[in-house]
């Protein structure tokens, strides 16, 4: 929901880098939280924990993409597609999530 609000707020024009840092930081914290998250009823590296690692990797890619979008020094042509593809990938992972 935070990423949706951030995206809607960026469409209005120029915004402060603090919003970008806040959105990337929240995404980074969520990804890191999933990396250390464990289910105590099955602590082994099973499918649920593997899926959480995929979620975390997607979140870290979205956080990096948010920061990369705002940097004018990065001229990679695929730069505008990193965040939307990361969010689509995360949505697909959540649709296929089995616990």
pLDDT in tens, the chain (99 residues): 777 777 777 765 566 788 888 888 988 898 888 888 777 766 666 788 888 889 999 989 989 888 888 887 888 888 888 888 988 998 899 899 877
Total count of domains within the chain: 1
Q: Using CB atoms within 10 A of its CB, is residue 64 exposed (0-12), middle (13-18) or buried (19+)? A: middle
> 43 Cβ partners below 8 Å, 6+ apart?
none
The domain of 14 spans: 2-95
What pLDDT does residue 70 have? Answer: 80
Cα(67)–Cα(40) distance, rounded to whole angstroms? 34
What pLDDT does residue 74 have? Answer: 82
Place of tokens 């939307």: 84
Q: How far is it between the farthest Cα atoms of the chain?
A: 48
Helix, strand and coil percent figures for the chain, each rounded to 5: 70, 0, 30
């Amino acid at each position: 929901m935070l990423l949706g609000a951030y995206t809607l707020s960026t469409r209005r024009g120029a915004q402060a880098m603090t919003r970008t840092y806040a959105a990337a930081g929240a995404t980074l914290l969520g990804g890191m939280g999933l990396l250390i998250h464990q289910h105590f009823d099955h602590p082994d590296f099973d499918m649920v924990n593997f899926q959480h690692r995929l979620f975390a990797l997607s979140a870290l890619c979205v956080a990096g993409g948010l920061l990369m979008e705002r940097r004018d020094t990065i001229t990679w042509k695929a730069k505008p597609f990193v965040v939307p593809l990361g969010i689509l990938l995360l949505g697909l992972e959540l649709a296929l999530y089995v616990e």
